[in-house]
Amino acid sequence: MEPTTKADLHVHSKYSKRPSQWVLQKIGCAESYTEPLHLYRTLRDKGMDLITITDHNTIEGSLDIAHLPDTFVSEEITAYFPEDRCKVHVLAYDITEAQHREIQKYRDNVFDLAEYLRRAEILHVLAHPLFSVNDKLTKAHFEQLLLLFKHFEINGARDEHLNINLKRILGGLSPEDIQRLENVHDRAALPPEPWIKHLTGGSDDHSSLNMARTHTVVPGRRDVTGFLNGVRNGEAIPVGVSSSPQTLAHNLYSIAYQFYAQKFELRKHVNKDILLKFIDRNLYPGREEESGLLGSLHALWSQRIRPRIGPGSRRNPPEQLQDLLRYETARLIWNDPELMSIVRSSDNGREGQGKAWFSFVNRSANQVMKHSADHMLRKIAQGSIFNIFHSLGSAGALYTLLAPYFLSYSMFAHDRKFSREIREALAADKRMPEEQQGEGQETRDGARNDTRNGSREHLAARVAHFTDTYYEVNGVALTLQQQLSLAQATSKDMTIITCAPDEAVRAADGVQNFTPIGVFELPEYPELKLFYPPVLEMMRFCFDKEITHIHSATPGPIGLAALALAKLMHLPIYGTYHTSLPQYTKCLTQDFAMEELMWRFTLWYYDQMDLVFAPSHATANELIAKGLRPEKVRVYPRGIDIERFHPSKRNGFYEKRFQLRNEAKLLYVGRVSKEKNLHILEQAFRDLARERNDVRLIIVGDGPYREEMERNLGGTPAVFTGYLDGEALAQAYASADVFVFPSTTDTFGNVVLEAQASGLPVIVSAEGGPQENLIPGQTGFIVPSTTAEAYRQAMTTLLDNPDLLRKMRTQARNYMENRSFSRSFDQVWAYYGQTG
């Protein structure tokens, strides 16, 4: 059987000065603490035949093990493009100390370095070629690297997409491509046959948790010289698996823990604290057996503390972040058999540690965040505004602890997008006529602005639409349900992201519901609940599904999560202004200061969007007048299902279900709440009912104001049907005579369209979005005043003029024929394609 030699060609020891580039600096950690001898033994255990260490710009780690069998000295060189200091990493293998010193002279200029390595016949490889080390790498830089290097690394610490895109780029090169690049950059290629590239594999491990995750195999070679010659001749085979954001974050936690464990001698206390022991088992490489005495002490300590934090404990959670975090994490470990098995194990080299650590951090953070959010919202509800800053500080500190995950997902999302854009741009250049090359301006990330030739590829839009209302009965939820149904019918990739308790969830394709980590009920408005979303889980979902666009239907907690994810994952984010929250706040609290505060928050939130969709010109103008930048705002009048809502559904619905006579039926459909201005409708109908006995008011819907409204209309011919949906709702519309909608806070008013599509003339306020959804004097009336008398007069005009009523019914339906839902949906979806 032919021999096979294996080596991890990219692994770091404690001598690496910047093991994970800028990321580790963000969390205050600058060194890995793996001893070279430990690294050597671990790699042997993992089946590596040859051992080398590629520390950054030093060979001290390699020299420490150079006397051991089957080793060779290597380093990872930090080099720069001279014009803009764009940083790249180059791996140099089997070098001498003298060559290392020479390398330091040339590494400030990658062109000089590549020429020296070629002249000295040093085997060298471009590490993680599509990873922008200091966020300066562009398509132009990468093209020049194709001219400088023969060997490229498949990197085990990077996203699979980078490695796949790299293989596609290198595998598709031709002599003509190299000649074109030589002409574009006025530089000759250095290696022979530069269109033929060779690959190696390396783990790029800095924590000793993932050594040899990706490595290099050379068949038929038995020793160092043969192995390296095989790599040089293109016989190497990269083997292993790529990384994920969870893997990288796990490494970052590990490096930070190793740093502090050494600095503060934490490992002496491992067996005295269950949380520290769990952390050590997950983040410190290697094995350590408990001594008998320490084990006994640990068991004794365990028995004393468990009753205080275990199931059934009556102890109140502490409020200080550090105490709360310790309390919740310890309780979580005690109550989870899988986590406890990690504590009891003497083996730190467990498979699947990255996933286990993610689960632990996510669940711990969720519990702490729930307590912090509850505390903050209670203070707000009590009017203790100045007391919320402590809670905000705690939440900020908590998310600092989550920074490795945020950084990892952010980096991987950026890299994934960048590598795809580089591949697409190079592929587009191949198809461009020669005279068009160079016309497009280069952006910072290397993508072309000039797409007039149509050669640029686009990843089909994958939209995640975040909403805090989907399973409820309201206009926003209905619109989103229709959008999802239409997206599926037209093969568009849309996912609704929502957060509702399990008991409210109805299974539906295309809906991803996340169980909230907590809920807060507003004392003044118990029907409205704030659900706390699990941000890390949402981020993982969007990354795994390769979401390209985020759309937010709400500025609430779920909308804030959407905004955070868009910023972290470098995705465009759009927002729809569905609800006039500031006006709602004023109606509910009667506090103008709270209304102003809500306006400030609303404008801040929507100003973060790439585009804001307003359902009416009135709403758009209000947002702009309040300070939102006009270039962000787009008006898109929504449509409805004009087949579902149709005059043909008129069937005596009220006579059959409510035994009503042939009175004229005035209809209101919507939420029964104060912000809908229903007290005006009450007064107008009471006045109307005193004048005539041939009229009924029908209220379809429910809400917190219903009970009071029923009392106010007691003794009048008013009927409350409660919620109606499906065919019952369509029949209720079509079987009425006039639709009255006094709300001044609605941004659009779907119900106004549904009523007209059902053949009803409508009466609406001159304030808000509904006024734009009719033809005044033809399909209904816009009441220029919010007085009850104005509404009474409009209703009387229609009831006293049967011919006008019939004419308006016909005109209302005709007007709706061009307001189909699919047309407005396609209008919005087109924007996603413009930024794909």
The CA-to-CA distance between both ends of the chain, in Å, stands at: 51
pLDDT at 245: 93
What token pair was written down for 463?
A: 């939209």
Listed in order, strand segments (DSSP E) in 282-425 are none
Give the per-residue pLDDT at 617.
85
**What does the pLDDT read at residue 289?**
46
**b/e map 517-530, b = 16+ CB within 10 Å:** bbebeeeeeeeeeb
Q: What is the pLDDT of residue 457?
A: 44
Helices (H) and strands (E) in the chain, counts: 31, 23
Residues of the chain with CATH 3.40.50.2000: 458-621, 647-819
How many whole angstroms separate alpha carbon 755 and alpha carbon 744? 18
For 647-819, the fitting CATH number among 3.40.50.2000, 3.20.20.10, 2.60.120.470, 3.20.20.150 is 3.40.50.2000
Beta strands in 46-86 (DSSP E): 74-80
Is-contact 207 231, C-beta < 8 A?
no
Q: Where in the chain is the domain with CATH 3.20.20.140?
A: 4-243
Token pair in block for residue 27:
């969390």
- The CATH number for 4-243, chosen from 3.40.50.1980, 3.40.50.300, 3.20.20.140, 3.30.365.10, is 3.20.20.140
CA atoms within 13 A on the CB side of 186: 0
Distance CA 168, CA 188 (A): 23
CA–CA dist 509, 502 (Å, integer): 16
Cα separation, 256 vs 179, whole angstroms: 47
User: Structurally, what CATH architecture does the domain formed by 458-621 represent?
Assistant: 3-Layer(aba) Sandwich (3.40)
d(CA 332, CA 195): 55
CA dist 245 and 416 (Å) reads 11
Q: Cα 344 to chain center, whole Å?
A: 36
Q: Give me the pLDDT at residue 19, please.
A: 39
Return the pLDDT at 381: 55
What per-residue confidence (pLDDT) applies to 814?
94
Within 10 angstroms of residue 388's Cβ, the number of other Cβ atoms is 15
Q: Which residues of the chain have pLDDT under 70?
A: 1-2, 16-34, 286-328, 338-352, 371-400, 431-459, 522-528, 583-590, 637, 834-836
pTM score: 0.78
Rounded Cα–Cα distance for residues 550 and 561 (Å): 11
